[in-house]
Structure formats: C-alpha cells, structure tokens
Amino acid sequence: MDIDINNFVKSKVTRSKQNPNEQGAIGSARISETQGFLSEKDAIGILGKLSFYLNKPKEKEIVTFMRELAILVEARVPLIRALGSIRKQKYSDGLLNMVGMIQQKVEGGKSLSEAFEQFPSYFPPLYVNVARAGEASGRLEKVLNYLADNREKAYDLKKKITGAMIYPGVIGLSFVAVFIFLMVFVMPSLSKTLTESGTKLPWTTKLILSMSAFFTSYWPFLLILLIILGFVFFYYAKTEEGKRQMDIVKINTPIVGSLLTKMYMNQFADNFGLLLKEGVPITKSLEITANIMENHLYQNVLLDCVKEVQKGRNVSSTLELSPYFPNVVSQILRIGEESGRTSETLVKISEYYSKEVDEMTRNMMSLIEPVLIIFLGLGTAVIVASVIMPIYNMAGSM
C-alpha cells in the first residue's frame, strides 16, 4: 500500500493516537512490501550510483527530503516504510536513487546514520553524528526535526546572500557586454568619420576611440589571454593556498566581507550548538563544525581551538584571541560556559546573526539599486557625450 505524504502527514498523528496497534500492522505490511523491490534494489545498487553522480539532487530537494522524513518518523511510520514512501514522490532521479540507496542500506541492517555516512557531500559529519546520537538515545524523530530545521535555515541563509549578490552581478555583466559591443561594433564605424572631419575631439572621445581600436585589433589575443588567465585562476583557486587567499579576500572585501562574517558566525553557532545539544563531546563537536565551515580561516581557528580545549582552556577564551571572531561571540559564549548553558547560548548567537544577515541583505538590496543606477547613468553619460558632442560640433561647423 502506497502512502500519499500530503494526506498522510495531516492525518497520521491523530490516527496513531487513536489506534496504538497500528505500528505493528505497518511493520508487518513492510515485510511483504519490500520483498517486491528486489530487482529494483539491484538496479539501484548497480545503475543507480552512476545515475546519482550524473544527476545529483539539488539542495532544495535534500531540504524537502529531510523535512518529510522527519514528519513521517515523528508520526511513528517505520523508517524503511517512510523511505519507501518518499521514493514514490515526484522528485529528480538523483534524489530518488539516493533515497533508494539509503533504504537499501537500512534494510541491510545498517542504521540511518551509517546510511547517511555513504553520502558525505549531502550528509556531512554533523548529520551523521547527530543522527547517531539520536539513535542511541531513542530520540531519532526529534533529532531528524533538528536536522531538518538546520538544513532549512542554512539553505534559506545561502539563498538570501546569493540573491543579494546576483542582482549587481547581472547588471555589471550587462554593462560590460554593452561596453564591449560599442567598442567592437559601433565605435569603429564612427572612428573614421570623426577623425577625417578635422574636428577637435575631447580627451574622452580620444580615449574611447583608442580603446575601440585596441579591442578591434587585438581581440583574438585578448580572448586567448582571458581564457588562459581563467584556467590559471581556476587551478590556483583549487589549491590549498589559493583557497586560503580567496577566503582572505572574501573576508576583507568591503560590505561583502561583513555579510559573510555574519553568515559564518550563524553557521558556527547553529552547528556547534546542535552537536552539543545532542551530547556530542565538545572536541568532536568543534572538529565537525570546523569541517562544515565554508571558509578555511574559520576552519583553522576551530581546529586550533580543539587543541586548546584539550589542554584545558575554554572555547570562549580561545576564540577571543582570533581576529575573525567578533568579541560579542566570545563574550556571550563565556557567559554560557560559566552558567552551564553553552548550547542554549549558541542558539541565541545563531538567532542574533540570522537576524543580522536578514537585515543586512535587505539594506543591501535597497541601497544597491540606486547606486547601480547612478553608476550606469554616469557611464552611459560619458560614452554618449564622447560620441554625440563631436558629431554635434562637426555638424555645427558645416
């Protein structure tokens, strides 16, 4: 019997309370249901892996999967049955194959955390360790809800920051494209007319005509140079030193650096607090959080913090020495350590920086538009004046 998740989630909690023997009935149904998927499991094991890597699930689908799994498990649907129900929904082949492989691992006797461990790109050590702690304590349904919340918040945060960056990026690229079009196709046709007229040209017009001549004469070499520089930059950015330098540039970039710092603080507090809340040892929690951080500078700070904690120091006193962690973080964290409420304090830090990111992205979006309008207006005015004024003067002298 298939499960319609949309209807099931609305009714399952009420029905489970009314019929406590339903759990056993579902468990019995699962045995006959899974026996009919042998050939499909084999296809998932052999061909599904190739399909998974060719068609990876999107982050939004992973978020939805985590939320639906949390809802079904909380409603006391057996884990294997819940995974099978999710597989029947309309998702991409990549996600369905991944869920099928997780279901196959669980049916083979592995725990959910061990199944998650097979997909480190989508379930980093944070999810594996928190799920394992939930399995050990018998609180898997609550843990899955925590993980679903964590995934949703991280996804929403990245989406806001990406959205704030896309608009100026698109406008900037459009301006560059129009400028190159004018230099390569429009200005060469006007260059001969303006130079032969004998009209005295403004310095801005001479500059634009020189740039147009340069682009027109050397564009093949410029294209080749651009491709070579792109490959060199891409290769360097993949090296450890390149990643470190890129992370330094990100943090020190005006406005953007401040926004990213707030995002990293939210990421640190949210993940570190979740691990501590589920009983993961503090040094292990720091190591896992370090591996999750998307900036090598913060990774190194947290890994150094592990060493200091092993020597008997507090996390707050170690982070206080880092220039990359704001003082407010270490100060609030110290209060939590002294009161024995570190995980609750980290939740407050996470909520604070989440609001800070929201406010900053809203302010950026409201400020970017007028700044871009002024910038594009000035650029357009210079180009138009450089072209129109000589033509106007030439027509006046005839």
* Domain ranges, residue 315: 148-398
Please check whether residue 131 lies inside any domain of the structure.
Answer: no
Lowest mean per-residue pLDDT among 39-48, 160-169, 279-288: 39-48
Mean pLDDT value of segment 277-290: 88
DSSP 18-59: H-TTHHHHHHHHHHHHHHTTHHHHHHIIIIIHHHHHHSPPPH
Q: Residue 225 above 80 pLDDT?
A: yes
Q: What's the pLDDT score for residue 228?
A: 95
Please check whether residue 45 lies inside any domain of the structure.
Answer: yes
Amino acid at 343: S
Please check whether residue 246 lies inside any domain of the structure.
Answer: yes
349 neighbors 332 (Cβ within 8 angstroms): yes
Which of 68-72, 152-156, 387-391 reaches the highest mean pLDDT? 68-72
133 neighbors 146 (Cβ within 8 angstroms): no
Q: pTM, whole model, 2 decimals? A: 0.67
pLDDT in tens, 176-205: 888 788 777 777 777 777 777 666 777 877
Lowest mean per-residue pLDDT among 9-23, 214-228, 297-311: 9-23
- Domain limit, last residue, from 123, 158, 192: 123
pLDDT in tens, 49-101: 555 566 677 888 888 888 888 888 888 888 889 888 888 887 777 788 888 88
Please check whether residue 135 lies inside any domain of the structure.
Answer: no
| Structural domain count of the chain | 2
- Burial of 235: CB neighbours in 10 Å, binned 0-12, 13-18, 19+: exposed
What value does the CA radius of gyration of the chain take, rounded to a whole number of Å? 29
Please check whether residue 93 lies inside any domain of the structure.
Answer: yes
Q: What's the pLDDT score for residue 12?
A: 42
- Diameter of the chain measured on Cα atoms: 100
Residues 109 and 35 both lie in one domain: yes
Please check whether residue 132 lies inside any domain of the structure.
Answer: no
Residues 355 and 244 both lie in one domain: yes
pLDDT in tens, 125-147: 888 888 888 888 788 888 888 88
Amino acid at 317: S
Q: Residue 46 above 60 pLDDT?
A: no
Q: For 293-341, where are the alpha helices, taking DSSP H only?
A: 296-310, 315-319, 327-339
Q: What's the pLDDT score for residue 231?
A: 92
- Domain limit, last residue, from 123, 139, 161: 123
Residues 77 and 181 both lie in one domain: no
| CB contact set of 272 (below 8 Å; sequence gap of 6+) | 285, 286, 289, 346
Residues 224 and 352 both lie in one domain: yes
Residues 270 and 321 both lie in one domain: yes
Please check whether residue 129 lies inside any domain of the structure.
Answer: no
Q: Which among 314, 291, 311 is positioned nearest to 303, based on CA atoms?
A: 291
343 neighbors 277 (Cβ within 8 angstroms): yes
Average pLDDT, the chain: 78
Angle of CA points 305, 309, 312, to nearest 5°: 145
| CATH for 212 | 1.20.81.30
Please give the Cα distance from 144 to 130 (Å, whole number): 9
Residues 211 and 317 both lie in one domain: yes
Q: pLDDT band at residue 325, thresholds of 50, 70 and 90?
A: very high
CB atoms within 10 A of CB 176: 10
| CB contact set of 350 (below 8 Å; sequence gap of 6+) | 266, 269, 270, 273
Q: Residue 22 above 50 pLDDT?
A: no
Q: Which among 318, 333, 334 is positioned nearest to 272, based on CA atoms?
A: 333
SS3 121: coil
Q: What's the pLDDT score for residue 13?
A: 36
| CATH for 111 | 1.20.81
| CB contact set of 197 (below 8 Å; sequence gap of 6+) | 390, 394
Residues 87 and 196 both lie in one domain: no
Q: Which among 134, 121, 160 is positioned nearest to 291, based on CA atoms?
A: 121
Residues 211 and 283 both lie in one domain: yes
Q: How many CA atoms lie within 13 A of 168 on its CB side?
A: 17
Q: How many CA atoms lie within 13 A of 173 on its CB side?
A: 6
Residues 101 and 51 both lie in one domain: yes
Residues 281 and 324 both lie in one domain: yes
- Domain limit, last residue, from 66, 88, 123: 123
Q: What's the pLDDT score for residue 229?
A: 93
Residues 174 and 269 both lie in one domain: yes
- Burial of 54: CB neighbours in 10 Å, binned 0-12, 13-18, 19+: exposed
Q: Which among 268, 313, 314, 270 is positioned nearest to 287, based on CA atoms?
A: 268
Q: What's the pLDDT score for residue 23?
A: 37
Please check whether residue 195 lies inside any domain of the structure.
Answer: yes
Q: How many CA atoms lie within 13 A of 374 on its CB side?
A: 5
More confident call, 278 vs 18: 278
151 neighbors 62 (Cβ within 8 angstroms): yes
361 neighbors 161 (Cβ within 8 angstroms): yes
| CB contact set of 262 (below 8 Å; sequence gap of 6+) | 353, 356, 357, 360
Q: What's the pLDDT score for residue 30?
A: 38
Structure tokens belonging to residue 315: 């996390």
Q: Which among 107, 119, 110, 117 is positioned nearest to 48, based on CA atoms?
A: 119
Residues 84 and 180 both lie in one domain: no
